[in-house]
Structure 1
């Protein structure tokens, strides 16, 4: 069980908890089914093209 009150106090973006005590996305539903609550790892590739 995460200590959500601690995370809320230190969060850069404020968030609320639902009736079950789970965090809600601060901007509403994302449309993504991530399968778990809390932080989710993600990677964004960067492609650089040039000449020389």
Structure 2
């Protein structure tokens, strides 16, 4: 589910923001992290990720 969400968000944002693939992926991860944790605190967002960040 998360991969699909990131793909859709990446496609949507790429039409409006000209970033490289990795920077766009990072932006998408930050946006989804902010939405899921309801905070902009990076340590809280990092704690929500299952992998090492």
TM interval, short-chain normalised: under 0.3
TM-score computed with the length of structure 2 as normaliser? 0.28
Using structure 1 for the length normalisation, give the TM-score.
0.28
Ranked by relative contact order (alpha carbons within 8 Å, sequence separation 6 or more), the top structure is 2
